[in-house]
Amino acid sequence: MDQCVTVERELEKVLHKFSGYGQLCERGLEELIDYTGGLKHEILQSQGQDGELSGTLSLVLTQCCKRIKDTVQKLASDHKDIHSSVSRVGKAIDKNFDSDISSVGIDGCWQADSQRILNEVMVEHFFRQGMLDVAEELCQESGLSIDPSQKEPFVELNRILEALKVRVLRPALEWAVSNREMLMAQNSSLEFKLHRLYFISLLMGGTANQREALQYAKNFQPFALNHQKDIQVLMGSLVYLRQGIENSPYVHLLDANQWADICDIFTRDACTLLGLSVESPLSVSFSAGCVALPALINIKAVIEQRQCTGVWNQKDELPIEVDLGKKCWYHSIFACPILRQQTTDNNPPMKLVCGHIISRDALNKMFNGSKLKCPYCPMEQSPGDAKQIFF
């Protein structure tokens, strides 16, 4: 991540210079246009019948040409400086990122079945992003057959999200009302917050919407038990309709951030109802790869340098542990206290009769005949009594 921050810092410098250069260029050219326009008007008014310019105007015209030349040279010099900043971004990328990452790849990783799974993940990602035409083109080129029923939920969700981004609540409200029972079952506050936003939009219309706002407040009735204080605040704001909510103690109701929040809440709850993760699996995998890649490149270089062949040859296991941060924690992890190895599908955790847990490999190594003594307590038991557990 440090490499990304370094490159981002250089990029921000370039963008800042571009912005400053654009403003300087626009201001300088406007001043030149105004100056030369005024000089042209003055020349036309004072020009003699013989068409010759006076000595004063000739001097002023010479100064105008010099001013134009100096301005153009300065703009060219500043533009050249921006080019050097852009080249520094390229150097920063070359310095902080390894352009060749093939050394950490595993031969034969993408077999037919794996390639199909990757294509399915990519198609789902494009559906999530609303890029339906790209997803369908990928299906055709890769030979995937996607059931239309898989695409329809994403089409609806993207339609509703696009409406929310332009502050149109009606599609989201219709969806929330139609799925009210399932939303209530998961203790979702989505429908209430949508009604709240619509009520606030009525408040912004002032006294002209007072009767409509009071009528719409009936929609809060199903949520009175869990959102009583919020409803009281909304009702209290009606007192200030005449002077405007923006000039009242309830100005916080107009916070623009709540529109971004409602988009996040809708995405989270809708994905939960569909049995999907909030974030795209492709995005999560790509982010995890970006975090892990530098460490893997370094360990690969060390392995090659020390000629430790065979250390990294398993497709389902990395040679070192890579900390992806708590954001990427999705499942509980159990490490066998006897063998000090992380359990896997082939070596699952096993619960003994006494309640202690060890791995299956440890269980197979420890029993003697038909008896097994727990390594943590004196209880003896049969190995067949151990039960596999799932985290």
pLDDT at 208: 86
Compute the average pLDDT of residues 258-281.
86
The C-alpha atoms of residue 167 and residue 161 are separated, in whole angstroms, by 10
- Write the class of the CATH domain 335-388: alpha beta
DSSP 310: T
109-162 per-position pLDDT tens digit? 667 677 888 888 898 888 888 788 888 888 888 888 877 777 788 888 888 988
Burial class (CB in 10 A: 0-12, 13-18, 19+), 366: middle
pLDDT at 192: 92
30-85 per-position pLDDT tens digit? 888 888 888 888 777 776 555 566 677 778 888 888 888 888 888 888 888 777 77
Q: How wide is the angle at C-alpha 236 spanned by C-alphas 232 and 241, nearest 5°?
A: 145
pLDDT at 93: 78
pTM, two decimal places = 0.57
pLDDT at 195: 92
- In one-letter notation, the amino acid at residue 349 is P
Count Cα atoms within 13 angstroms, Cβ side, for 179: 21
- In one-letter notation, the amino acid at residue 112 is A
Which helix (H) or strand (E) segment holds residue 63: the answer is helix 55-96
pLDDT at 309: 62
Using pLDDT thresholds of 50, 70 and 90, give the confidence band for residue 315. low
Tell me which residue has tokens 């921000």: 12
Which helix (H) or strand (E) segment holds residue 61: the answer is helix 55-96
% of the chain surpassing 70 pLDDT: 91
- Mean pLDDT: which of 10-19, 225-234, 273-282, 309-318 is highest? 225-234
Residue 353: name the closest of 379, 378, 376 by CA: 379
174-186 per-position pLDDT tens digit? 999 998 888 888 8
Distances (CA, A) of 257 to 108, 142, 254, 263: 48, 41, 9, 10
Residue 263: name the closest of 157, 362, 179 by CA: 157
- Asked if 61 and 7 count as a contact pair (C-beta separation under 8 A), the reply is no
Using pLDDT thresholds of 50, 70 and 90, give the confidence band for residue 193. very high
Compute the average pLDDT of residues 367-376.
81
Count Cα atoms within 13 angstroms, Cβ side, for 164: 25
Residue boundaries of the structural domains of the chain: 1-93, 147-274, 335-388
Compute the mean pLDDT over every residue in the chain, rounded to the nearest whole number.
Answer: 82
Long-range contacts of 12-21 (CB under 8 A, 24+ apart): 13/85, 14/82, 14/85, 14/86, 14/88, 14/89, 17/81, 17/82, 17/85, 18/82, 21/78, 21/79, 21/82
Task: Compute φ and ψ for 88, nearest 5 degrees.
Answer: -70, -30
Residue 378 has pLDDT above 70, yes or no: yes
Compute the average pLDDT of residues 279-283.
85
Residue 98 has pLDDT above 80, yes or no: no
- Asked if 200 and 254 count as a contact pair (C-beta separation under 8 A), the reply is yes
Using pLDDT thresholds of 50, 70 and 90, give the confidence band for residue 194. very high
Residue 255 has pLDDT above 70, yes or no: yes
pLDDT at 343: 85
pLDDT at 198: 92
Strands 380-381 and 372-373: antiparallel
347-359 per-position pLDDT tens digit? 889 998 888 998 9
pLDDT at 290: 80
Distances (CA, A) of 293 to 97, 108, 223, 352: 10, 19, 48, 39
Residue 15 in tokens: 């963008």
The C-alpha atoms of residue 233 and residue 210 are separated, in whole angstroms, by 16
